[in-house]
Structures are given as C-alpha cells and as structure tokens.
Amino acid sequence: MKYDFSKISVTDVDGNAHKKTALKPIHQIAATKIYNEIRDVGLVEPAIAMNKGESVEFDKGEAKAVRKLLCGEQSTLFAFIRKAISDYMDSVEKEKKS
C-alpha cells in the first residue's frame, strides 16, 4: 500500500488541524522514529523518503511493523500524534479494501 505521511494533520485541543507540531511536520517525526528505531533495515530507505515528504510503499507486514512502532503501546510519541498516524493508516487501508 502507498502511504503519504505528509498528508497527516493533527488536531489540537481546540479542534484546529495542523500539518506540523511546534517542532516539525508529522511526516518528519514519523520518519525519524522509523529511521532510528525500526528493526527492519529494509525500512531505512522509506524512512528517508518519508522525511523528504515523499510517498512510500509498505507491504502488509511492513505497515504492521510501522504501525506498531509509531502507534503501539510502547511508542513514545504523544497520544495526539499516535492517533493522527493511526487514523491516517486506517483510512489508507480502508480505501485499499474498497
């Protein structure tokens, strides 16, 4: 499946949508986390592409590993970022099934 993490926006506590946090865009936060922590070295190149704002292809297993790293219980990302990423990945996967 093809993912474009640069499309992710987060919603602040007031309900306003933002493409980035105070520090950097969501796709760069996700890319950095994958680049630094993923066990599958095959996902290093996609992380670099994500950091540049490019779309990336993940097979089902890769998408599961990325979701676990970014959105799982052990993730150190803030909850609002995890939710935005999880919601986006859900929408891509739902669209693929349609």
pLDDT, tens digit (0-9, with 9 covering 90-100), for 1-54: 999 999 998 888 888 887 777 678 999 999 999 999 999 999 999 999 999 999
pLDDT for 22 equals: 66
Do residues 2 and 56 make contact, with C-beta atoms less than 8 angstroms apart? yes
Question: Could you give the CA distance from residue 35 to residue 94 in angstroms, rounded to a whole number?
Answer: 26
For residue 4, give the nearest of 60, 59, 65, 51 by alpha carbon.
Answer: 51
* CB atoms near residue 65 (< 10 Å): 19
Lowest mean pLDDT among 7-11, 71-75, 87-91: 7-11
Tell me if residue 15 falls in helix, strand or coil.
Answer: coil
| Per-residue b or e along 66-86, where b marks 16 or more CB atoms closer than 10 Å to that residue's CB | bbebbbeeebebeeebbebbe
Please give the model's pTM, rounded to 2 decimal places.
Answer: 0.88
> What residue spans define the domains of the chain?
2-97
CA 79, CA 16: separation in Å to the nearest integer? Answer: 16
Strand partners, 3: 56
Provide the pLDDT for residue 50: 97
